Amino acid sequence: MATTTDPTTRTILEPISGERGATIHGPSNVAVEEENPSLLLPPTTDGGTVPNLKFSYAAARNRVLSGGWGREITIRELPIATDIAGVNMRLKPGGVRELHWHKEAEWAYMIAGEARITAVDAHGRNAVEDVGAGDLWYFPAGTPHSIQGLAGGCEFLLVFDSGGFSENETFLITDWFGHTPKDVLAQNFGVPESAFDDLPTDVGNSRYIFAAELPPARAQDLVAGPAGSVPQSFVHRMHQQEPIKAPGGQVRVTDSSNFPISRTIAGALVEIEPGAMRELHWHPNADEWQYYLRGSGRMTVFASSGKARTFDYQAGDVGYVPFAMGHYVQNTGDEPLVMLEMFKSDHFADISLAQWMALTPPELVQAHLNLDDATMAALSTDKRLVVRGA
Ligand code: MN
Ligand code: MN
């Protein structure tokens, strides 16, 4: 791509390639263009109309409260994302994401710090667990739960199994108390109405994320009930999984085969070395919702009938690949690219283009593509997942 240098010595990208294109004369949001060079000057292999497949948490409205903040990317921000919505949330030390439930299942990845999570299932079995960086949790739809930042606070990603989810429309315990007559509360709990005289003044407005004291050590915070604790753990230590080693990186896959409670969400934590690439592939079972944790990358999504569109992603961005569409993710930076691939499914599945070709009669493949024997011999019958730089 051509560049020019403005009087303040800033290098500006221009949509010019050889004889094609021209400089930008009108107003230009240079910072956004620099993050999206593949939109400003797409590869000539792009074609047709493919919907937007990118939204950044930097462009999401943040809900800022005493205990931390939360920002969501749902079907409202990224309309193609019908299967999955995501929330990036930060809790200060002691900060509480209040006791609540919702219609969607919740899957989470701890990015940094530590939290205590609590939950109770329909059989009266509970969970009080501490989670740290690289740990996951999963709450089935409708299960009541909470999250509280421990010393140092925490930040995490929440993933929900419906694009229509909104953090602002969950069922909050304070909201319910604030919208129930006090005589009903008194009857329900078998106490006088005066027991509810000191409800927080903001109780009817949803506390959502509020500042609180740090909890005691977990051992002192456990609550024993007659039904015991949940039989299938709501927590999975993803970073403790042995990764699948790939030529250009590594992959950890977590789904209901190794995290049994996670029946509606499957995920892969993918690490791509500088210059390497998540190979050309597609998924035979679900849309893919991506979250970029570190580094920068480029993805082209092939949508059939001559349609393809290329996007650039940075840490903090969300990407989306509709069901069955072919794609790759190339590390375009000089540090490892780390990303989550999420699916609304009980299992992770992908089809490798190279493996498909390697396991098909070679003369049949060659009749399509005119590939020589050396290229055919280079096809791997093993799925490579992440391939090296050239
Ligand atoms: Mn929740
Ligand atoms: Mn994929």
Would you write out the chain's pLDDT as a tens digit for each of its 390 residues? 777 666 565 567 899 999 999 999 999 999 999 999 999 999 999 999 999 999 999 999 999 999 999 999 999 999 999 999 999 999 999 999 999 999 999 999 999 999 999 999 999 999 999 999 999 999 999 999 999 999 999 999 999 999 999 998 999 999 999 899 999 999 999 999 999 998 887 655 678 999 999 999 999 999 999 999 999 999 999 999 999 999 999 999 999 999 999 999 999 999 999 999 999 999 999 999 999 999 999 999 999 999 999 999 999 999 999 999 999 999 999 999 999 999 999 999 999 999 999 999 999 999 999 999 999 999 999 999 999 987
Ligand closest to Cα of 297 equals 2
- Rounded (5°) CA angle 50-283-358: 110
Give me the residues paired with residue 229 across strands.
Answer: 126
Looking at domain 55-236, its CATH architecture is Sandwich (2.60)
Instruction: Collect residues with CB below 5 Å from ion ligand 2.
Output: 288
* Predicted local distance difference test score (pLDDT) of residue 166: 95
> Is 341 assigned a catalytic role?
yes
CA of 217 to the centre of ligand 1 (A): 23
Task: Sort strands 106-120 and 126-131 into parallel, antiparallel or unpaired.
Answer: antiparallel
CA of 353 to the centre of ligand 2 (A): 12
Phi, psi of 130 (to 5 degrees): -100, 135
Ligand closest to Cα of 100 equals 1
CA of 146 to the centre of ligand 1 (A): 7
The dihedral over CA atoms of 47, 52, 58, 61, expressed in degrees to the nearest 10, equals 160
Phi, psi of 161 (to 5 degrees): -85, 35
10 Å Cβ neighbour count for 229?
Answer: 18
CA of 16 to the centre of ligand 2 (A): 31
Q: Say whether pTM exceeds 0.85.
A: yes
Contact present, 246 and 331 (Cβ < 8 Å): no
Give me the residues paired with residue 2 across strands.
Answer: 14
10 Å Cβ neighbour count for 45?
Answer: 9
For 330, residues 6+ apart whose C-beta sits below 8 A from its C-beta are 272, 277, 278, 297, 298, 299
* Predicted local distance difference test score (pLDDT) of residue 271: 98
User: Which of the four CATH numbers 3.40.50.720, 2.60.120.10, 3.40.30.10, 1.10.357.10 does domain 238-387 have?
Assistant: 2.60.120.10
* Predicted local distance difference test score (pLDDT) of residue 200: 82
CA of 361 to the centre of ligand 2 (A): 25
Domains 55-236 and 238-387 share a fold: yes
Task: Sort strands 68-73 and 62-65 into parallel, antiparallel or unpaired.
Answer: antiparallel
For residue 369, give the H/E element and its range.
helix 362-369
AA identity, residue 281: H
Q: Which two tokens stand for residue 114?
A: 């530590």
DSSP 293-342: EESEEEEEEE-STT-EEEEEEETTEEEEE-TT-EEEEEE-SSS-EEEEEE
What is the residue extent of each domain of the chain?
Answer: 2-41, 55-236, 238-387
146-182 per-residue burial string, b: 16 or more CB within 10 A, e: under 16: bbbbbeebbbbbbbbbbbebbbeebebbbbeebeeee
**Max CA-CA distance within the chain?**
85
- CA dist 17 and 1 (Å) reads 6
- CA dist 171 and 184 (Å) reads 19
Label each residue of 142-202 as H, E or C: CCCEEEEEEEEEEEEEEEECCCCCCHHHCEEHHHHHHCCCHHHHHHHHCCCHHHHCCCCCC
- CA dist 116 and 127 (Å) reads 10
- Rounded (5°) CA angle 174-139-341: 125
* Predicted local distance difference test score (pLDDT) of residue 149: 98
Active-site residue identified among 104, 106, 341, 363:
341
CA of 328 to the centre of ligand 2 (A): 7
CA of 132 to the centre of ligand 2 (A): 26
AA identity, residue 346: D
CA of 144 to the centre of ligand 1 (A): 8
Q: Which two tokens stand for residue 83?
A: 């299967």
Ligand closest to Cα of 171 equals 1
Q: Nearest-CA neighbor of 271 among 325, 322, 346, 341?
A: 341
Ligand closest to Cα of 328 equals 2
CA of 203 to the centre of ligand 1 (A): 18
- CA dist 310 and 300 (Å) reads 4
Ligand closest to Cα of 351 equals 2
- With left for phi above 0 and alpha for psi between -120 and 50, is residue 304 left, alpha or beta? left
- CA dist 374 and 377 (Å) reads 5
- CA dist 358 and 376 (Å) reads 7
